[in-house]
Structure 1
Amino acid sequence: MDYEKVRDLSFDELSGTISEEEKSWLRNAIREDLQARNIWEDIQRDSSRLLTDASDSFDQHPAEEVLGGLQQRRRRSYLLKVSSIAAACLLAMLGSWYLFSTKAPQPLAANDSTAHTIRLVTAEGKVIDLSNDSTGIRVDNAVLNNKQHTLSFDVSHQNGSGINTLTVPAGKDYHLLLADGTKVQLNAATTISFPFSFTGKTREVTVSGEAFFQVAAKAGQPFIVHLPGSTVNVLGTAFNINTYDSGVVKVALVEGSVKVASNRHDIVLKPGYEITTTKNGVSKESFDPDLVLGWRTGLYTFEDASLQELAPIIHRWFGVTIALDNARVASRRFFGVIDWNRPLEDFQHNLERADGIRSHYDQQGILHFE
């Protein structure tokens, strides 16, 4: 069952833009599939509640709070148009504020060209540029293969326990296949340190940034991920880690089991839950896969986020430094999706059209919103 199609057609039904063929497909889906029906009923219930309360809420709350609960459920990059007169009036008052932005090459502020390449520094100090496909690279005791945006390697002998460091810059992502078969997907602005072979009683790596792990099970040799201020002990699993924010570590478990050890707590996670550790303590709650894992397919979903909060995301994904030239611009809040596979100019255009916020690049390649 295509549940994304169910969700989209449910919104189209509300907006009056659904065709008869699509309506028939939707009716069959919600009749035959329980999850499809639950999706449809949730959207119907949310829209009814939001429209009933809209006139009172609009006088007391920002526009985002009125339609946010409904629109954050929509993953398309345009404003939901609801068919009722009350909703149409509300949308006229709100204007188009639901945005998306996307990926395109842009000038980067830094002058050091190596800062914008995917780079491996071996334990012996050799620097390898991995930005373009290459195979058969001999280094130390390993032969590197850099194909289809993925680094793998063959080790000639079990003496590759020195630590290598792989750095993925802003504006790029990358994949790594470790010696034991563990797969790692690295988000932009992320660093991982690892050996070419795991020769001891444990398999250990260190990560700063964001990465998704699919750990190969190996009895008697636990997999350990070192993070700033905490450690993840893995029991054969798939999980996401995020250390972008200083002093904050997030671990979201997709399947299997992990134990997160910080200075004061050891917590075992169950699938579907995320743990957040800060200097103030530890919290655990269920997570939305769209919000936490969307980056793996090039989507960043944001809910009630200010441009100030989005600026580091844009910098990481597009390699562009952002300057917010006044307080109103910095604090304006939006719901939407950043699609890494489309041009950044789309975000700029929609932002100006929706809220009158203009933008330009200066001579240093810094993007100003004004």
Structure 2
Amino acid sequence: MDYEKIRELTFDELLGTISDEEKALLYNAIEADSQARSIWESIHGDRSRLLADASESFAQHPVEEVLTNLHQRSRLRYIRKACSIAAACLLAITGSWYLLRHNTTNEHQPVAALGNNMDSTIRLVTADGKTIDLSADSSGIQIGHTVLNNTHQTLSFDARHQTGSGMNTLTVPRGKDYNLLLADGTQVQLNAGTTISFPFSFNGSKREVTVNGEAYFQIAAKADQPFIVHLPGNTISVLGTAFNINTYDSGSIKVALVEGAVKVASSRQNEILKPGFEITSSHTGMTTAAFDPDKVLSWRTGVYTFENASLQELAPVILRWYGITVMMDNQRVSSRRFFGIIDRNQPLQAFLHNLEAADGVKSHYDQNGILHFE
């Protein structure tokens, strides 16, 4: 029995978007399988309580309006269903949907160790050591023989007369994202807390950049000049392609291929990746699995999708997107699991308010600006 399919069909039923064939499939499943029925009953029960809890906070914003905005911003099918039913942008999974497990973290141990003094400067350090603030639009910046244009959160440049191949480093701080158009026409979208090193011109037999953080590449095809992305401990060799890389976790590197072909190489192993699959590379080797674009790529629209995640697991996202350190004060709360989204286009307080409305999880800031979940 595909219980994830049962959950999805139940959401479709509640939204009124289920077909006759799907409804028959759902009802046959809950007649024949007790666990399927338990899932169906749990979702129906959670719907009533969550709607009651969330109605006050959404009094000024009807569900239809919330859904319209969500449809315009993303294609997160599964989460749109959850948000519709809960009338909120976060659905706390309760009852039989909790995954209760032993948590070895001390109650007062910070799960994000960095401070809250967030540097919001998007910064370019050129190969000759000049530092340029790209936080505000500017154009016609002369760097040697290269002219930089920084508009609409995108850096592009005219380097037709550039002869050197020194590496420049672009840093995107926490709470920001940014775009880069390289000399060959390759487009790079950079997530918060990401750095990329690149030359103003690709003069050699290869095009090479270095990335630490998360970035989405749309590579300009040049068969005679392969594109190489250096990551911590790994190298990606590319032809014409689109892919996402994530190095936030120091213990693993993730490369998700949307189209084209890439080869991921470490010191011990090489793997060719096919579209629709993601490689995870760690000290134990490489593993390959299909990935969900709505989850892996949703950050590109300012949305972080989480399924069956704890608040402890969400702490690095809050730190990266809002520059806020999180501390867990309650072991019971830290072990709960949630489905939902964090929308970077909305203030963090909106997420916290929905979290409290959906399941009573309270939070507060201390005098140092650290966010505590109670």
TM tier, smaller? 0.7 to 0.9
- Corresponding residue number in structure 2 for 1:231: 235
- Corresponding residue number in structure 1 for 2:178: 174
Helix, strand or coil: the match of 1:80?
helix
Distance 1:46 1:157 in 2: 65
Helix, strand or coil: the match of 2:245?
strand
Q: Note if 1:78 corresponds to 2:83.
A: yes
Matching residue within 156, 178, 185 for 2:189: 185
- Corresponding residue number in structure 2 for 1:276: 280
The 3 A distance-change label for structure 1 pair 53 and 299 is: farther
Q: Note if 1:352 corresponds to 2:356.
A: yes
- Corresponding residue number in structure 2 for 1:318: 322
Q: Note if 1:285 corresponds to 2:301.
A: no
Distance 1:317 1:129 in 2: 20
The 3 A distance-change label for structure 1 pair 50 and 153 is: farther
269-278 or 315-324, which deviates more: 315-324
- Corresponding residue number in structure 2 for 1:53: 34
Deviation at 1:254, TM superposition (A): 0.5
Matching residue within 120, 130, 133 for 1:129: 133
- Trace 1:11-160 onto structure 2 (pairs within 5 A): 14-15=13-14, 18=16, 41=22, 45=25, 49=29, 53-54=34-35, 73-76=78-81, 78=83, 80=85, 109-111=115-117, 115-160=119-164
- Corresponding residue number in structure 2 for 1:87: none
- Trace 1:231-270 onto structure 2 (pairs within 5 A): 231-270=235-274
Identity %: 60
Distance 2:94 2:222 in 1: 59
8 A contact 1:183–1:213 mirrored in 2: yes
Helix, strand or coil: the match of 1:218?
coil
Deviation at 1:289, TM superposition (A): 0.5
Distance 1:200 1:76 in 2: 50
Distance 1:47 1:365 in 2: 50
8 A contact 1:72–1:303 mirrored in 2: no
The 3 A distance-change label for structure 1 pair 305 and 46 is: farther
Helix, strand or coil: the match of 2:85?
coil
The 3 A distance-change label for structure 1 pair 217 and 14 is: same
Cα RMSD (Å)? 3.2
8 A contact 1:96–1:353 mirrored in 2: no
Distance 2:140 2:30 in 1: 59
Once the two structures are superposed, residues 298-321 of structure 1 have per-residue CA deviations (whole angstroms, 9 ceiling, x without a partner) of 121111100000000111112211
Distance 1:47 1:293 in 2: 33
The 3 A distance-change label for structure 1 pair 206 and 44 is: farther
Once the two structures are superposed, residues 170-194 of structure 1 have per-residue CA deviations (whole angstroms, 9 ceiling, x without a partner) of 1110000000000000001000000
Deviation at 1:213, TM superposition (A): 0.3
TM-score, structure 2 length as denominator? 0.75
Q: Which amino acid aligns with 1:53?
A: S
8 A contact 1:325–1:369 mirrored in 2: yes
Deviation at 1:338, TM superposition (A): 1.5
Q: Which amino acid aligns with 1:14?
A: E
8 A contact 1:96–1:354 mirrored in 2: no
- Corresponding residue number in structure 2 for 1:3: none
Deviation at 1:75, TM superposition (A): 2.6
The 3 A distance-change label for structure 1 pair 47 and 253 is: farther
8 A contact 1:239–1:251 mirrored in 2: yes
Deviation at 1:259, TM superposition (A): 0.5
Distance 2:240 2:206 in 1: 13
Matching residue within 304, 307, 310 for 1:303: 307
Deviation at 1:11, TM superposition (A): 6.6
Q: Which amino acid aligns with 1:73?
A: Y
TM-score, structure 1 length as denominator? 0.76
Deviation at 1:118, TM superposition (A): 0.7
The 3 A distance-change label for structure 1 pair 275 and 48 is: farther
The 3 A distance-change label for structure 1 pair 361 and 203 is: same
Distance 2:27 2:193 in 1: 38
Distance 1:50 1:288 in 2: 27
Once the two structures are superposed, residues 139-186 of structure 1 have per-residue CA deviations (whole angstroms, 9 ceiling, x without a partner) of 233111000110000115232311100000111100000000000000
Distance 1:47 1:241 in 2: 41
Matching residue within 177, 199, 203 for 1:199: 203
8 A contact 2:127–2:167 mirrored in 1: yes
Q: Which amino acid aligns with 1:78?
A: C
Deviation at 1:44, TM superposition (A): 7.1
